[in-house]
Chain A
Amino acid sequence: MYKNTGYLSSQEYSSCMPDEERMNSGAVAIIECPEHIPCNPCQEACSRGAIQPFEKITDLPVIDFERCNGCGNCIAVCPGLAIYVLQKEYEPGFSLIKIPYEMLPIPQKGDRCDILSRDGSVIGQGLVERVQKYSFNLKGRVLWIKIPKELHREARNIRVVNE
């Protein structure tokens, strides 16, 4: 399906997510990497050993959601921008996503933004909570975006709103 559309269907991305119990208990990384690309930096970036060692470089990344604490190191290192972190219970009524971002202008804390789904539809409005820069990826950023909780499964990108 994703080979025709370029995005994961709800069934496809749901299979990348942890169960409800884990989702309710704190931030967790979600890896949307369904093809056997020869690539392994995510595994090396994970300081908690949550991303399982690869036997072959073309293995798919497998994440142990119980070990993952949602730190987000893997987000900034992933060349495919395929990883994001979801914290479903962030504030009452709100979730948090941490997403890779490479567009200009670089958003600032407090900016309002449109929330986009995997197919690019605008599904709501969010708020930039934090902008992280990593020493090993000086050009890209990881954005922390506060989103309405009901969008926690669909939210995957943002678009800065021009004031």
Chain B
Amino acid sequence: MKQICDVLIVGAGPAGLCAASIFANTDVQVIVLERDPFLGGQLLKQTHMFFGSKEQYAGTRGFEIGTLLKEPILQAKNIRIFTNTVAAGFYPEDGFLLAIENDQELHRIYFKKILLATGASEKALSFENNDLPGIFGAGAVQTLMNMYGVAPGKEVIMVGSGNIGLIVSYQLMQAGISVKCIVEAAPVIGGYFVHAAKVRRLQIPIYTQTTVRKAFGTESLEGVELISLDAHWQEIAGSERYETCDTLCLAVGLSPLSELLSHFQCETQYVPELGGSVALRNQRMQCTHKDVFIAGDVAGIEEASSAMLEGMIAGVSIAEDLGIATPSHKSIKEESTQFLQAMRSGPIGDKIRSGLRKVEDSHV
């Protein structure tokens, strides 16, 4: 079916919903595509309270933020939402984006501006038998546990001590599932100290300079072999030990879901600090193709709070280019830009600032 809109938003996570909110109850025709059956993206799985300031819902739990963000979008008559719908590809010669709804209905969507807020996918880890049932990405564990109320197993080993590994370990314990240990290949814990402190107080050990070498099991996972690493990330022979577990949870990082960007021939660059291939963009979140904007993890792996702010900024930038920006839009953009800079200041923002320097401004 042919669909026509002014603004097409791909992804209804924190970034996409915030961008859509800029257009709620205006004359701009907006279409939002979401692959999942629900709006809210990863927010829906987040049971912990968020950091930040009051304006960014600090102290509110992630799933509650998701509810707050989606309400005004659902009520806006000028915003059409397609859930269970995949953005399959952009056809430049015809100028439409092909979307597939419920695995069967095709939509050709014509638009003036597009925002890619596609988020990220989980990285995997290669080791022997890593395809045994019982080995999950941390996001899958969160989905099963926090969205569908299904326990992934009884005894979990977590791989990775970034914020996701720490938070999901804590959530597993909250669900009454035992977390045997967290292993981390690096010499230091990757995530925030406060998240690490929460799991340590719950008696979960964190083994740094340790990784998983092999998985064992016939029908499904029964145990893993762990091994210590030296300062150069090399395995230390003789340090292998066997640990039983029925679930191994991989929380080893995220990669931006940037495939659609290439359909628009937006210039991208591999930036390790941002998690992978990301688009060159200016501070308006506009890519090298002037009709394409990005926000959230697709622009660089960061936090939901920064995704919301980038979504606001990208939304206002699009409003400007459509010639419908109001003074209140301008102040939203200024405030969001200031908040974003403030959030990224300080030592914790070093990595993201260094990554952004490689892809921002001078290129676009």
User: For B197, what are the chain A residues with a Cβ–Cβ distance below 8 Å?
Assistant: 2, 6-8, 32, 81-82, 118
Q: In the complex, which residue of chain B has the Cβ closest to the Cβ of A159? A: B203
A157 to B198, CA, bound (A): 9
B50 at the interface (CB under 8 A from A): yes
**A18-60 to B contact mask, C-beta < 8 Å, 1/0:** 0000000000000011111111110010000000000011100
Known A-B contacts A103-B173, A118-B201; the reply to A6 vs B346 at CB < 8 A is no
User: For A150, what are the chain B residues with a Cβ–Cβ distance below 8 Å?
Assistant: none
User: For B174, what are the chain A residues with a Cβ–Cβ distance below 8 Å?
Assistant: 102-104
**Minimum C-beta distance from A32 to chain B (A):** 7
User: For B342, what are the chain A residues with a Cβ–Cβ distance below 8 Å?
Assistant: 38, 56-58
A110 at the interface (CB under 8 A from B): no
A6 to B59, CA, bound (A): 22
A119 at the interface (CB under 8 A from B): yes
**Minimum C-beta distance from A132 to chain B (A):** 16
A77 at the interface (CB under 8 A from B): yes
Q: Which of B61, B189, B196 contacts A139 (CB 8 A)?
A: B61
Tally inter-chain residue pairs, CB-CB below 8 A.
Answer: 128
Known A-B contacts A6-B193, A6-B196, A80-B192; the reply to A38 vs B348 at CB < 8 A is yes
A88 to B236, CA, bound (A): 46
Query: In the complex, how many residues of chain A place their beta carbon closer than 8 angstroms to a beta carbon of chain B?
Result: 41
Chain A contact residues: helix, strand, loop or mixed: loop
Q: In the complex, which residue of chain A has the Cβ closest to the Cβ of B305? A: A38
User: For B102, what are the chain A residues with a Cβ–Cβ distance below 8 Å?
Assistant: none
- Band of interface residues on B: 35 or more
A11 at the interface (CB under 8 A from B): no
A58 to B192, CA, bound (A): 13
Known A-B contacts A6-B189, A103-B173; the reply to A39 vs B52 at CB < 8 A is yes
A80 to B188, CA, bound (A): 19
Q: Which of B49, B196, B202 contacts A79 (CB 8 A)?
A: B49
Q: In the complex, which residue of chain A has the Cβ closest to the Cβ of B176? A: A104
**Minimum C-beta distance from B18 to chain A (A):** 17
Q: Are B51 and A39 in contact (CB under 8 A)?
A: yes
User: For B323, what are the chain A residues with a Cβ–Cβ distance below 8 Å?
Assistant: none
B48 at the interface (CB under 8 A from A): yes
Q: In the complex, which residue of chain B has the Cβ closest to the Cβ of A117? A: B201
B53 at the interface (CB under 8 A from A): yes
B343 at the interface (CB under 8 A from A): yes
A137 at the interface (CB under 8 A from B): yes
Q: Are B200 and A37 in contact (CB under 8 A)?
A: no
User: For A120, what are the chain B residues with a Cβ–Cβ distance below 8 Å?
Assistant: 200-205
User: For B195, what are the chain A residues with a Cβ–Cβ distance below 8 Å?
Assistant: 80
User: For A3, what are the chain B residues with a Cβ–Cβ distance below 8 Å?
Assistant: 188-189, 193
User: For A38, what are the chain B residues with a Cβ–Cβ distance below 8 Å?
Assistant: 51-53, 305, 342-346, 348-349
**Minimum C-beta distance from B293 to chain A (A):** 24
User: For B194, what are the chain A residues with a Cβ–Cβ distance below 8 Å?
Assistant: 32-33, 35, 37, 80-82
Residue among B59, B197, B208, B347 with the most chain A CB within 10 A? B197
Q: Which residue numbers of A lie inside 8 Å of B, CB to CB?
A: 2-8, 32-41, 44, 56-58, 77-82, 102-104, 116, 118-120, 136-137, 139-140, 156-157, 159
Closest 6 CB pairs of A and B: A80-B194, A58-B346, A120-B203, A6-B196, A79-B49, A36-B346
Q: A41-B58, A120-B202 are in contact. List 5 more A-B contacts (CB 8 A).
A: A37-B51, A38-B305, A58-B348, A80-B192, A104-B174
